[in-house]
Every structure is written in C-alpha cells, then in structure tokens.
Amino acid sequence: MATSDRVLGYLESRKNLTGGACGLLGLVLTFTGVAGPYWPVVVAGLYGAGALVAPPERPPVPDFPTPSDRLEELRADFARLDGYLGEVGLPASASPRVTELTGVLGALLERGWGADALAQDPEGLHTVARIVRQDLPEAVDSFVRARWWSRLAPGQESPERHLERQLALLAREAVDLAAVLKEADARRQETHTRYLEDR
C-alpha cells in the first residue's frame, strides 16, 4: 500500500511533470527529424534533465491552531469553569470577587472587538488561559480541601481569607490586562489620527 502511494505521489510530483514535458519535447524533436536514430536517448535525456531542474516538492506547512481557534477552546473551558464555580459552594465573602473576576474574563472572551483584541495579543491570551485553566480552579480547589482540613484542626488562618486574597490578585491581573488592551486600542486610534493629519 505504501509503495503504491509513493508511486502515485511521484507521478503527481513536479519532477515527473517537468520531466514529462521535456520528454514530449524530445518526441517532437524526433518527429521533426532532429533527434535521428538516437531518439530514445534524446527523449530519456530530456526527461532526466527536466526532472533534475524541477523544483523539489515542499512538505505541507503544519496546520497550527489560529488565535481564534484557541479563543474558541478557551471559551468552552471558561463555560466549564463557570459551571464548576456554581457547584462548588463558595463562601459569601468570596462571591463579589468571583463575580468581578468572572465578569472581566467573560467580557474579554465575549465575541466582538474585545475578543479580537485579545486574540491579537499572545501574552494576554496566555494570561487569560492561565487564569481560566490553572489559577482560578487551583485557588478554588485548594480552598475546598483546606476548608475540610480546617474542620479537623481549627484555630489556623481561615481558608476563606486565602481564597479572598487569591481572587483579589487574579481579579487585579484580569483588570490590568483589560486596561492594556484598551490602551492598545487608544494608541491605534491616536496613530490613525496622526496619519490622517500628516496626510
């Protein structure tokens, strides 16, 4: 099976097609009487020369996911995370921070100009992916585990305080990212204004 694929691949290759075209030129020379009795050598030589000068086949470029593909995957992961946050039973003191953080993340991932700006910023996309896929789930899961242990050994710093601090840091990181994306759009607008004024 692999041999027949290789043969079919060569038949469709640039080398074979160029060699075949040059071999046809050899046949034309034969029928016009230029090649004479050595016509098989002329046809084979022209085919070989054409196959040698033809550009080599290029392997296909790997099909990597585009930023918009990664954004779609991230939206799906954020939806799963949002469902998890609804089920886990967070304390009321952490609720405003979770709402703020998921609100900013949801706005950044929402289809439209914000998501387009995020897709064009690899560092920002990485930051949102890290918060959604790693930092926020880890913070909540650590809280759930620590809350269980604190029932067995009371008297230590409450897991709620750690969770609130972690959520505050993640919310600040998300808000800072939104500010960076907003500033990039403002600079783009200023640049366009200067361009129009100079023109």
Over the stretch 128-169, which tens digit does the pLDDT of each residue have?
999 999 999 999 999 888 877 666 666 667 788 889 999 999
| CB-based contacts of 79-87 (< 8 A; 24+ apart in sequence) | 81/132, 81/133, 81/136, 81/137, 82/106, 84/137, 84/140, 85/136, 85/140
pLDDT for the residue 78: 93
**pTM for this structure?**
0.64
For residues 77 and 196, the model is more confident at 77
pLDDT for the residue 149: 67
Domain boundaries, the chain: 2-53, 67-198
pLDDT tens per residue, range 71-113:
889 999 999 999 998 888 888 888 889 999 999 999 888 887 7
Mean per-residue pLDDT for 112-120? 79
Name residues whose C-beta falls within 8 Å of residue 121's C-beta, 6 or more positions apart in sequence. 180, 181, 184
The band of 176, judged by pLDDT with boundaries at 50, 70 and 90, is very high
